[in-house]
Amino acid sequence: MIQEISVAELAALPTPIFVDVRSEKEFAEATIPGAVNIPIFHDDERAQLGTIYRQVSPTAAKDLGLSLAAPKLPDMVRRYRKLEKQGSVVLFCWRGGMRSRAVATILDLMGLRAYRLVGGYKAYRHSVVEYWDEKPFNFGVVVLRGNTGTGKTELIQALKQHGRPAVDLEQLANNRGSVFGAVGLGTAPSQKKFEAELTAELQTFGSAHWIVVECESKRVGRVSLPNALFQAMQAGRQVLIFDTLENRVNRLVEEYTAFPDPGPELVEALDRLAPRLGNERVKFLNERLVAGDYHTFTRLLLVEYYDALYGYPNAADPDYSLSISMGDPAAALAQIEQFLDQLEAEAAK
């Protein structure tokens, strides 16, 4: 018997293993966070089936679908047997239609237990949209502000490792939020995928009243922050993160040179700064880049471009709720954690 489960009921499953049975292209565009892809039809097969369905008949498309799926079944069943040992398998397709029903039927015949998500990915996507559109944002927000290279992302990651409710928006967007933001990072997620990952992470924070994020523009790379979050960031507690110029340079050089041959991407990004810095300055920076003089390249960019663009103080400032030096990362982490504890204590009163 096929077991069905709604999106609202998913939270009750202790260890859900989501399986997206849609094609590779559909999966890459957006899926449920953590899902694995076991397509019943590949991209080209799905296109072929759609053509037959429209131009010939639904029956002809079903017959073709059966012949395309049949050779895949033994391997699919083996994969599902392994997944079943890890948790509760939850199947879904676009809207809980024929693809997930067909796989669920096969697994049931083979004695394997799996749930079929009612409404499929479409229902899950609707729940994400509702999260942002139909209720106020659940958290107060501590926003880390500061000039480029001060270690804001480093501090976010340290908080996450300590189990604190911190969200690395740039990691989710796969972009560092600047003209060089995409260097070395590859393809950015779709808006739907970004919102799904963000929502899923926020839903793990339980009873927390405050979360920590880095200051971002409304748009980060290819994606946009949900309005509710962006508004909460503007109204939140603003924390200044600062460090010495030398530490900032070293931090950025270490980050960007960790990628294989970042030069071509850096050159391409640098060319976009010509209207602001001038062609001669861009030419000089390109020469430093080609020579592998990353420290001079980075120092000049910070002083002549980024610091002038963002204009944050490079020392403690009373205009912020808290000012933290990243000269000692361990002390900085302890300081922000103490601040969070105070906010949570006040919220619990």
Token look-up 């953590």 returns 34
Dihedral, CA atoms, 241, 243, 245, 249, nearest 10 degrees?
-80
Alpha helices in the chain (DSSP H): 24-29, 43-55, 58-69, 73-84, 98-109, 120-133, 152-161, 169-173, 191-202, 227-235, 245-256, 263-271, 274-277, 279-290, 294-301, 307-310, 329-348
Q: Name, in order, each residue with C-beta under 8 angstroms of 165's C-beta and a sequence gap of 6 or more.
A: 139, 205, 208, 210, 211, 212
Q: Residue 180's closest CA among 248, 261, 259, 272?
A: 272
* CB of 32 closer than 8 Å to CB of 124: yes
Burial profile 184-202: b = 16 or more Cβ within 10 angstroms, e = fewer:
bbeebbeebbbbbbbbebb
Residues with catalytic function: 93
